[in-house]
Amino acid sequence: MIDLPVVQTPQNGEQTAVDAEITTATGGRTLYVETYGCQMNLNDSEIVQSIMNKSGYAIVDGPDDADVILLNTCAIRDNAERRIHERLKHLRYYKKRKNDLVVGVLGCMAERLRTRLLENEKLVDLVIGPDEYRKTPELVDSAFSGEKGLAVKLSRVETYDDITPLRTEGISAWVSIMRGCDKFCTFCVVPWTRGRERSRSLDGIVTETRHLWDSGFREMTLLGQNVNSYRDEDKDADFSDLLAACAEAAPQMRIRYTTSHPYDMSDKLIETMAAYDNICKYIHLPVQSGSDRVLQLMNRKYTVEHYLERMQAIKKAMPHCALSTDIICGFPTETEEDHQMTMELMAQVRYDGAFMFKYSPRERTRAWKMGDDIPDDVKTRRLNEVIEQQQNISREINQAAIGTTERVLVEGPSKRNAAEWQGRTDSNKVVIFPHNEHSGYIVGDTIEVAVERSTSATLFGQIINS
């Protein structure tokens, strides 16, 4: 998964899609959910909001007016958990102001720390793991009567297939198609926090796709820790079949997915992507390292040669397909030579973007037992080197876009300047363009933008039609 700090900013676009009927507060209680970590967590928060809304809670978009505050957390690296501990310290202020405030921790950190969270963070009333969200209303009710709640069982079957996530803003929807991971990369805590792989039904996802289009959504991202493992046994369908079925169910909807594992990046999937115009030509394919020795220690199950061969197959079928990756710096025993191999691989592939991390040891994983022998200053230096190289490559790729015309899906006002709006290209690049009341486009429109300027992260241009 792409692991991004998720900030839920309300969009003030003119037209945003709403996916479910929302119960509004009529003297009832209010809920605020704050989401950290990956996009799967964002979708999980929408599932929790849906469950709680059905039980009469009105959803509010800040902690000030909330009777219940739930933090949906990430455990992938130590710094993600440290952020949550800091946030919990801040929440003491709200608890002091409002004695009966209920505070809960959801998600991967809840699953990992379980009772330790209740014992060490006195403020926390509830700890709920990713497969137990159906219990949230009853546990919150008990918390109002002063009982602490813990629900952290992992399930082999829970997919929340029957729950329509409560999406209240934007035109882009996250859609989880499967949960859990069976890959057991040696650095990764996810198999322990999210349990075994299981998939939703193809019919359920296709119905949701149609419903999203009818509700005004214009882009959807199919989510899974490892989407290539998707299977609907009844229909004998794999991920490529699902992707094709979604593309056909909503032919104007932009369809994305994340994350693929390089080991299972099949020819069939590449052909399916190439065959449908509305499947975005963008692939996030985490490589993690450019050294076969390190890849083997990581239990990634592919070699650099295999990875590069898959990249060639992608570029052959879709010459303009954008690519991004994840890189870990300072995995146990990583030598300077291994690091240089990662640098070379990145220079050879020339990714459009990359998510780059310092290795963070996680309890229970196999890498935990390998020790954490790379000193922090070495990890930092290597990380800075890969970041700098990637920024240069991204800048060069974006510079080459100057003078081209991009089809852009309009998302709404840009974060920095009210006189500008932003959108995204099919290849997932952010594009900024001018906006005023005569601009003639609204959120969700697809417009053409002539690119005039760029940075390593963003394209800037003028609208040439709308």
List interacting residues with ligand SF4 (CB under 6 A).
181, 183-185, 188, 190-191, 225-226, 261
| Cβ pair 74, 41 in contact under 8 A | yes
Strand partners, 31: 59, 68
48 touches ligand 5AD by CB under 6 A: no
346 touches ligand 5AD by CB under 6 A: no
Find the angle CA(283)-CA(17)-CA(163) to the nearest 5 degrees.
80
357 touches ligand 5AD by CB under 6 A: yes
The answer, yes or no, to whether the previous bond of 259 is cis (omega within 30 of 0) is yes
> How near is the Cβ of 258 to ligand 5AD at its closest, in Å?
10
> How near is the Cβ of 357 to ligand 5AD at its closest, in Å?
4
> How near is the Cβ of 286 to ligand 5AD at its closest, in Å?
4
What, of ligand 5AD, ligand SF4, none, does residue 113 touch, CB below 5 to 8 Å by kind? none
Instruction: Please list every residue from 63 through 92 that binds ligand 5AD, using CB under 6 A.
Output: 76-77
Question: H or E element: which one contains 294?
Answer: helix 292-297
In degrees and rounded to multiples of 5, residue 16 shows phi and psi of -125, 150
Q: What is the token pair recorded at 353? A: 């973007």
| Residue nearest to ligand SF4 as judged by C-beta position | 188
302 touches ligand 5AD by CB under 6 A: no
Choose, by CB under 6 A, the member of 213, 359, 433, 460 that binds ligand 5AD: 359
> How near is the Cβ of 186 to ligand SF4 at its closest, in Å?
9
Piece of the chain touching ligand 5AD by CB under 6 A; list 80-88, 164-172, 355-363, 407-415 = 355-363
3 touches ligand 5AD by CB under 6 A: yes
Instruction: Please report the DSSP string for 355-422 in residue order.
Output: EEEE----TTSTGGGG---S-HHHHHHHHHHHHHHHHHHHHHHHHHTTT-EEEEEEEEE-SS-TTEEE
> How near is the Cβ of 187 to ligand 5AD at its closest, in Å?
4
Cβ distance to ligand 5AD smaller for residue 93 or 184: 184
Choose, by CB under 6 A, the member of 326, 344, 445, 448 that binds ligand 5AD: 326
Strand partners, 284: 324
Cα separation, 184 vs 300, in Å, equals: 8
Piece of the chain touching ligand 5AD by CB under 6 A; list 237-245, 358-366, 406-414, 450-458 = 358-366
CA neighbor of 330 nearest in space, from 285, 296, 360, 367? 360
Choose, by CB under 6 A, the member of 143, 178, 188, 269 that binds ligand 5AD: 188
Q: DSSP 3-state helix, strand, coil percentages of the chain (rounded to 5)?
A: 35, 25, 40
In degrees and rounded to multiples of 5, residue 316 shows phi and psi of -70, -45
Strand partners, 128: 106, 151
Site residues for ligand 5AD per CB under 6 A: 1, 3, 76-77, 187-188, 286, 288, 326, 328, 357, 359-360, 362
